[in-house]
Amino acid sequence: MHGLRHQYAQMRYEALTGWKAPAAGGPSAGELSPTRRVEDNHARQTISRELGHERIQITATYLGR
């Protein structure tokens, strides 16, 4: 079940941001420009809610940092 959540979160992240999640080979948080950091945060908030969580920190488990 969690494998599907990881897959969903990573696919959704790429759909929302246009680049892969860090756990899938995309850029880490430190490599993002200020504009991309805002997009990253928005995507993580959206995905967190879609997965039934209210904490953005949980997305690090699924997406990496």
pTM for the model stands at 0.92
Domain ranges of the chain: 2-63
Categorize the per-residue pLDDT at 63 as very low, low, confident or very high, splitting at 50, 70 and 90: very high
List, for residues 20-56, the tens digit of each pLDDT value.
999 999 999 999 999 999 999 999 999 999 999 889 9
32 in Cβ contact with 40 (< 8 Å): yes
8 in Cβ contact with 21 (< 8 Å): no
Amino acid identity of residue 40, one-letter, is: D
Categorize the per-residue pLDDT at 1 as very low, low, confident or very high, splitting at 50, 70 and 90: low
